[in-house]
Structure 1
Amino acid sequence: MRNIFYSSLIALIGIVLVGCSAEKYFNEGDKHYEYLRYSEAIASYEKGIKKDRNLEVLEKMGNAYYFMGKYEKAMELYEECMANKSAADKLNFYYARALMATGKTKEAKGYLTRYLLRHPNDVVAGMLLSSVNSINERYIDTSLFTLEKIPTDDFTGAFSAVEYRDGIVFSGEKEVFRGSKQSPWTGNSYLDLYYMEKDEDGNWLSPEILQGTINGKFHEGPASFSKSGDVVYFTRSNYFKRKMEISNEEENNLKIFIAKSEDGKWKHLEELPFNSDNYSCGHPALASDDKTLYFVSDMPGGYGGTDIYVTRFENGEWTKPENLGETVNTPGNEMFPYMHDDGILYFSSDAHNSMGGLDVFLTYEYNGRWMKPENLNYPLNSLKDDFSFVLSEDNTTGFVTSSRANKDELYEFKKNAPTFILYGRARKKDSFDPVAGVTVEITRGSDGKVITMTSDKDGKFEYQLDVEEEYHLLCTKIGCFTRTDKVSTKGKKYSENFYADFIVEEIELNKPIVLEDIFYDFDRWNIRPDAATELDKLVKLLKDNPTIHIEMGSHCDARGKDHYNQVLSDKRALAAVRYLIYKGIAADRLSWKGYGETVPRNQCVNGVKCSEEQHQENRRTEFKVTKL
């Protein structure tokens, strides 16, 4: 259900006009539409358009259906309007919004782009386009949450489940017969607070309405309980002791009330001091200290439709509410805050790159500043509205509300740890030929546990890594160079595959092995940055194989005198050895030799004209194992 802050909670009073002409029905519908009584507005409009299919009225009907969560019907009306060349330009925005709600994000992009070309300063439209462009990011890891719907078949809508005693309390509405008291927004009953718990087999029992004065004639919405469970903060329409209060705009706004449990019933209702008859306050969320309260309001001075505020109980009274600021709040709607014991704030927003409707986000305060909100992604979030996220103390289970099945319903979720798989491969150097029988030791950093395995006939091995761990990999085969690697899952929130590619190379004494990318500038012997990168690989190889001794050999091109090149190559080989020593390799494992221009790799010898690239190929460094 779209725009939950209003659609689920506001009870408005208006004057019903009776007439027979299309204009009278349109005027009647406009009155209802202006005061957000969408179900009544549609009923009046329907009577009028039978006589006159007025374009402006059809557009308002589309909006009314959209806010009631009937997106397909809204799209049908928008399309009829857009077929008319005189249709309002804003319809591109409305239609795109409905397309996003039904999963047609690619189509929505075109309409939003077209609209923004003419209205580049429309912040909300810009946010929706950003959401469309980033939609694939929302599916980065679809295994992090497992959702199971809670059976509430007797309700036309149920939302905002919170833990209470051995079960949950939620807000729900039911279908009512004509003549009964109806919510003018949806045509269903007003919202009440219900309690539901599981039986011994884990099955949910039938909900029971909360007893006492907590449920009244109009809307009661999201609730939040103290740690002891005997104090509740809840949202309700602005009425008290049977009296409905109306704002200057003839609206009945929302207020936050407090009640206390006595003899199994909720009594002693009081409203909080920062409420107002002229703006709404709702969606209370009490922090674990029982003294900090987060809530939602459209009070003046905010950033958009609804913002999140915080107030604290100090010296026997609630402090002046503070807006959480523009990092959290946007020109869109931020709603349904929930502060977990670990200091993470969860809330829902139709901005912040959502999937199109309300999405659940998280943020936290660091050094007095709120961090950029993070989308919890699919499958917790969907293309429809997802909100009222609460997390149990075990940090792995909780509840969320979603309209993904075309009405607001309660879901129980399990938070799964990300999965990390290591895929390894052993292959011969300079080829993809697999090597079987390679021993791989995987050492876990937290406790030093060693897991040993061998590569199969395809040279492969596989291992599932733990979360928040570091691993050291050791790959060995008799007569071959040992190779090592490191893998870490620390700080990673999403499932990921890791790949280890081990090169298996036999150790042959006195066989030159060219370090392909170690080059020198003409007439120079200093180690260039690109050469240092390659020498670092040799450093690792020597550390992985601490029993081998090597000789570094350096070669020059044919330019210059033979004696000079001999001296230059000796300096280059020595420079490489000094670099290895600097990187921690013992000097007694290293020797060097300059070969001058005596062993070219190509035809560029004295008297042969060659390019600079061909000469540079001969300016190279090699190593060979001299001792095991």
Structure 2
Amino acid sequence: MRILKIFFLLLIFCQVAHSQNSKLKKANKLFADRAYVQAAELYEELDIPDSLLVNLADAYYYNSIMDKAVINYAKAISSQSFDSNSIYFKYAQALYGTKNVRKADSIMSIYNGKNLNTPTFISKVNLANPFIYDLKLITEGSQSGDFGITYFGEKVAFSSLRNTDNRTYEWNDKPYLDLYSATFEDRGALIDIIPFNKDVNSKSHESNAIITQDGQTMYFSRTSLKRVKIGEQKIATVRLFKAELVENEWSNIEELPFSSELYSIQHPSLNSDNTKLYFSSDMPGGKGSFDIYYVDINDDGYGNPINLGDAINTPHLEQFPFISDTGSLYFASNGLQGLGGLDIFMCEYNNEKWSSPLNLGSTINSSLDDFAFIVNSNDNTGFLSSNKEGMDKLYYFKRAENSRKLIVEGIVKDKNSKELLPGTMVTLFDENNKVIDSVQVKEDGKYSFKVRPFSTFKIEGYRPFYIPNTVGFETEDSGKIELNIELELESYDDAEEIVVEKEDGYVYIELENIYFDLDKWDIKPNAGKTLDVLVNLMKKYPRMEVLLGAHTDNRSTFEYNMVLSENRAKSAMNYILSKGIESNRLTSKGYGESQLLVDCGENCTEEEHSINRRCEFIIVK
């Protein structure tokens, strides 16, 4: 009987183990197929090994369930059961999504290798932004799951999962997306909502429609129904399509030639004259994940895709480009520093290059995903999408000009040793050389100023015994909110062989000795040549200030020698002043016999007397 009981227990155990193993295989397959909602539910039913904690966290992360993503990323990091540092990026983004900013900054700092301080960053970008946004949720006519609203002639178009007759998308267990048109009313309502015809809305996802100025051509994204194995996963890529308006119906649907079943191309946008088509793609050769590209639209077709480059694209997501009627580029990114998730950025095209992207700040961006920004620059109104309330929703905004200033900041260091130079006075000048502000840097060597956009400035670093250095710069309307300017100062003794710092701590200009006739103080021709060297040095460095010190031998009384030395020092100073050096840069002093170099008493040789009878030149600033 006992053997029989053991047999049944083992049988039950084996059945449970088999069931657990079967469920785990199913969960892993669901995850591999990107059925994240179902995968997470099944993982939660099981006692999963540490090696699958990242899968569970990712399943929540990709559906913006950030509180549960945080818990499981933390467990995975604690167990060290991961093989990619990208977990730190996603963990930090999930922490931002739960508003745990301090912890998120700490984790993102590990990932980026540099210290981040989001509250400071927000204050800077808010100060730098050209506009302040008044953002409101569209409540009437819109619902959760709507996103990607765009201008569509006199109307708007948007993507929605509201059609419950559509099949369910495994990623989020929601209906497949369709495209809709509507009229937007200023009170914040969408009315006359109509789905696009069936030639456009297929059995797959359709989103992000954009129409040409003449209203005859539309571009939109559509997901392939067929999955293709790419690496270890089977993926249905997103492609771009074009439709033509024929007898008031969108037809003649055709795929753009640079689309592919091996990578995605999505989120089309047109420039103002419809000569360039911008989009987001993870095609090979990019910076990583999704980048922003464009193609030229020619009479005979399309040019080759051009990546917008390192100024805009990162190893992470850059998506939803929009070109305003003034030529500004707006796009969403989670690879550039932001508030969390996708943030909206802006940059300008000047001198054949894009300016550095400017985060639009906390009046429009949140700790979760903010994207699909569009604006009418004529009346400063527009739309965007965000999942800040849990699911994608549509928002509209009005914006007002911001009385803003940019930030210029940097550090001061020694040109040769590269050591920081605390105590340096850094001064900001405007284009007319007028002082705007100044600061004495502290131990960290850092300085920071607020400056106007579209202006010219210069910054000067000044420190005693160093050659002042000046750097000029111009500010843009947007882009660089931190103009990191390193001021490198060089000490006089590094720059000039005749300048020497001696053991007494003073910095001397070593010139040939100046000889005076006995009891005389007039400057002889040879002495004039020596002083000319000093004159040229002071002209080369117009901030240099010098103390002229005259010394005598001990062959007369102390009082007589003091008067004689003062006269000789003044005589040397008057000679230098006659050469155009300003009087406030020179000081003269007679020391008499008080600082003999050779204390030989009453038995001095002529050579020893000549050594004591000298002029010294000390740099005081």
- Would you call these one fold, judging by a TM-score over 0.5? yes
C-alpha displacement of 1:605: 5.4
Query: Is contact 1:520–1:528 with CA below 8 Å preserved after alignment?
Result: no
Question: 1:204 offset after TM fit, Å?
Answer: 2.3
CA distance in 2, matches of 1:594, 1:39: 77
Q: Structure 2: 5+ residue runs without aligned partners?
A: 1-16, 407-430, 433-450, 458-472, 483-507, 515-530, 553-563, 598-614
Paired residue secondary structure (1:289): coil
- Residue in 2 that maps onto 1:417: 402
Cα distance in 1 between the residues matched to 2:139 and 2:372: 16
User: Which residue in the other structure is 1:404 paired with?
Assistant: 388
Q: 1:70 is matched by which residue type in structure 2? A: I
Assess if the C-alpha contact under 8 Å between 1:131 and 1:354 holds in 2.
no
Residues 232 and 131 of structure 1: CA distance in aligned 2, closer, same or farther (over 3 Å): farther
Q: Select the residue among 568, 572, 575 that pairs with 1:564.
A: 568
Aligned residue in 2 for 1:245: 226
Provide the residue aligned with 2:193 in structure 1.
Answer: 208
Give the alignment partner of residue 78 of structure 1, picking from 73, 83, 87.
73
Deviation at 1:335, TM superposition (A): 1.4
Give the Cα–Cα distance (whole angstroms) in 2 for the partners of residues 335 and 325 of structure 1. Answer: 14
Would the aligned equivalents of 1:26 and 1:57 in 2 still touch at CA under 8 Å?
no
The equivalent residue for 2:157 is 169
| Aligned-partner SS, 1:21 | helix
Counterpart-to-counterpart distance in 2, 1:42 and 1:174: 24
Matched, 1:101 2:97: yes
The answer to whether 1:147 aligns with 2:134 is: yes
Say if 1:157 and 1:409, in contact at 8 Å, map to a contact too: yes
Q: Is the CA contact (8 Å cut-off) linking 1:288 and 1:341 kept in structure 2?
A: yes
Q: 2:172 aligns with which of 186, 201, 204?
A: 186
Q: What is the CA-CA distance between 1:111 and the residue it aligns to?
A: 4.6
Structure-1 residue corresponding to 2:24: 26
Change (3 A) 1:221 1:180: closer
User: Residue type matched to 1:170 in 2?
Assistant: F
Distance 1:340 1:407 in 2: 27
Between 363-372 and 138-147, report the one with greater CA deviation: 363-372
- Matched position secondary structure for 1:142: helix
| Mapped contact 2:550–2:568 kept (Cα < 8 A) | no
Cα deviations by residue, 1:275-304 (Å, 9 ceiling, x for unpaired): 223322211111222231112222333332
Give the aligned length.
467
Describe the superposition over 1:471-516 as per-residue Cα deviations: whole angstroms up to 9, x where unpaired.
9xxxxxxxxxxxxxxxx996465999xxxxxxxxxxxxxxxxxxxx
Counterpart contact for 1:330–1:351, Cα < 8 Å: yes
* Distance in 2 separating the partners of 1:301 and 1:28: 34
1:415 CA displacement: 5.1
Q: 1:381 is paired with a residue of what secondary structure?
A: coil
| 2:57 alignment partner AA | G
1:518-557 equivalences in 2 (<5 Å): 524=531, 526=535, 529=538, 533=542, 557=549
Unpaired runs of 5+ residues, structure 1, are: 1-18, 115-124, 239-243, 422-443, 446-464, 472-487, 497-518, 537-553, 581-591, 622-628
User: Secondary structure, in 3 states, of the residue corresponding to 1:39?
Assistant: helix
2:320 & 2:175 partners in 1: Cα distance?
22
Q: Tell me whether 244-253 or 218-227 shows the greater mean CA deviation.
A: 244-253
Give 1 or 2 for the bigger CA radius of gyration: 2
The amino acid that maps onto 1:257 is F
Inter-CA distance 90–301: structure 2 relative to 1 (3 Å threshold): closer
Deviates more, 1:20-29 or 1:280-289: 20-29
Alignment identity in percent? 25
Is the contact between residue 131 and residue 355 of structure 1 (CA under 8 Å) also seen in structure 2? Answer: no
Contact 1:156 1:188 in 2 (8 A): no
Of 295, 299, 319, the residue aligned with 1:335 is: 319
Post-superposition shift, 1:70?
Answer: 0.8
Corresponding residue number in structure 2 for 1:545: none
CA distance in 1, matches of 2:149, 2:33: 28
Residues 442-591 of structure 1 mapped to structure 2, 5 A cutoff: 468=454, 491=476, 493=478, 524=531, 526=535, 529=538, 533=542, 557=549, 559=551, 561=564, 563-575=567-579, 578=580
Q: 2-side partners of 1:593 and 1:171: how far apart?
A: 73
Q: Please report the TM-score for the alignment, with normalisation by the length of structure 1.
A: 0.62
Q: In 2 relative to 1, CA 230–315 (structure 1 residues): closer, same or farther, beyond 3 Å?
A: closer
In the TM superposition, 1:38-77 aligns within 5 A as: 38-46=36-44, 48-49=45-46, 52-77=47-72
1:568: how far off?
1.7
**Counterpart amino acid of residue 192 in structure 1:** D
C-alpha RMSD of matched pairs (Å)? 4.6
How has the CA–CA distance of structure 1 residues 87 and 277 changed in structure 2, closer, same or farther, with 3 Å as cutoff? closer
Question: For residues 82-121 of structure 1, what are the alpha-carbon distances to aligned partners after superposition, in whole Å with 9 as ceiling and x for unaligned?
Answer: 56x474465962534422433434324555677xxxxxxx
Residue 342 (structure 1) shift: 3.9
1:291 to 1:532, Cα distance in 2 relative to 1, 3 A: closer
Shift of 1:534: 5.3
State how far apart, in whole Å, the 2-side matches of 1:594 and 1:305 are. 61
Kept in 2, the 8 Å contact 1:32–1:38? The answer is yes
